[in-house]
Amino acid sequence: MLWLVPLLAGILWAASTAADEYAIIPEWGRWILAGTALAGAAVLGIAVLIGPVARRLAGERHPLTQAERGQMTATERVEALNAARHTLIQAATGLVVVGGVVFTVQGLWYTAQSLDASTQGQVTDRFTKAVEQLGSDKTDVRLGGIYALERLAQDSPRDHVAVYDVLAAFVREHDPKPSVKDKDLPPEPTTDVQGALTVIGLRDTSYDLARNRRVPNLSQIRVPHAYLVLAYLAGADLTGANLTGANLTDTQLMTTDLSDANLTNANLTNADLTGANLTNANLTGANLTGTNLGGVRGVTEDEIRKVARVDTTTIF
């Protein structure tokens, strides 16, 4: 048993040295070090079990005297010792199996963590490249960036809100500036702006509800004749928006803020404006047939009937 003393002292010294260097060892090196330490400990434990411990279980509490040796045949002593070793080896095997399972689970956890980190790195790269495309001077490249961001929002729920905030900012920055007079505005939004609006309108709204976030801020946008059929813009900030002649058929605009918005000749057929704020909104010539105007604020039913197109299917 004396030979174990220097061995244990060496193991303790190695462990203390490794602990000092642990902070600078890379992650994979730590796993190798831990595995080597576990293997060494297992070998040492098995050696102790099948040696001194087995002899004690076999009845040899101390070295046998000559008289004791004479009481047992050599075969009996060997059988007793082997029986004890067999029992201990079975126990050690069970411990090794349990240790192997634990080590395997830890390895799988580390692999999963590494894979998640790699995936997030790829998502970040995709996001960066898509945003860079939005800054291109070529329309087709910007359009590619818009649809790349849409795909990213579908693949990475944690980036969903950020993607649509970027797209909303893109629309606000690339539509004609407020200083431009309405008569000088293009009859329709540019292809990339229309694409961004379409993507925003078709987003998965469950992420907005989960994070208790409003839809992207689109106040002051100037996109006459925009195509927003079936868009979901409930609760959106569209204050001062120029949506002259826009196609908003079947659009969800519940509780949307449309104060000071220009909806001249806009098509709002079957749209839902329940609880929307229409204070100072220009509804001249707007098509409100089948539109739900229940609970709208800032305008009366008579004021709407005077300027907009309504019929018996319009709900006030």
Whether 260 and 158 map to the same domain: the answer is yes
Alpha carbon 126 to chain centroid, angstroms? 14
With respect to residue 312, please indicate whether it lies within any of the assigned structural domains. no
Whether 140 and 188 map to the same domain: the answer is yes
Whether 150 and 298 map to the same domain: the answer is yes
Residue 5: its pLDDT value, please? 46
Whether 206 and 253 map to the same domain: the answer is yes
90-122 pLDDT, tens digit per residue, is 766 766 776 677 767 767 776 776 677 677 778
Q: What is the span of the domain harbouring residue 162?
A: 135-307
Whether 98 and 182 map to the same domain: the answer is no
Residue 196: its pLDDT value, please? 86
Query: SS3 string of 61-107?
Result: CCCCCHHHHHHCCHHHHHHHHHHHHHHHHHHHHHHHHHHHHHHHHHH
Whether 225 and 283 map to the same domain: the answer is yes
Tokens representing 109? 């956890």
How many distinct structural domains can be found in the chain?
2
Whether 81 and 226 map to the same domain: the answer is no
With respect to residue 130, please indicate whether it lies within any of the assigned structural domains. no
Please, what are the averages of pLDDT over each run of 10 residues along the chain (316 residues)? 49 52 56 65 63 58 59 65 67 69 72 70 84 87 89 83 84 65 64 85 66 60 79 84 88 90 92 92 92 91 90 90
Within 10 angstroms of residue 28's Cβ, the number of other Cβ atoms is 10
Whether 157 and 110 map to the same domain: the answer is no
Whether 114 and 149 map to the same domain: the answer is no
C-alpha–C-alpha distance, residues 137 and 316, integer Å: 46
- Last residue of some domain: 120, 144, 167? 120
Burial 191-219 (b: 16+ CB within 10 A, else e): ebbbbbbbbbbebeeebbeeeeeebbbbb
C-alpha–C-alpha distance, residues 110 and 122, integer Å: 18
Contact criterion met (CB below 8 Å) for 33 and 25: yes
- 122 three-class SS: helix
With respect to residue 82, please indicate whether it lies within any of the assigned structural domains. yes
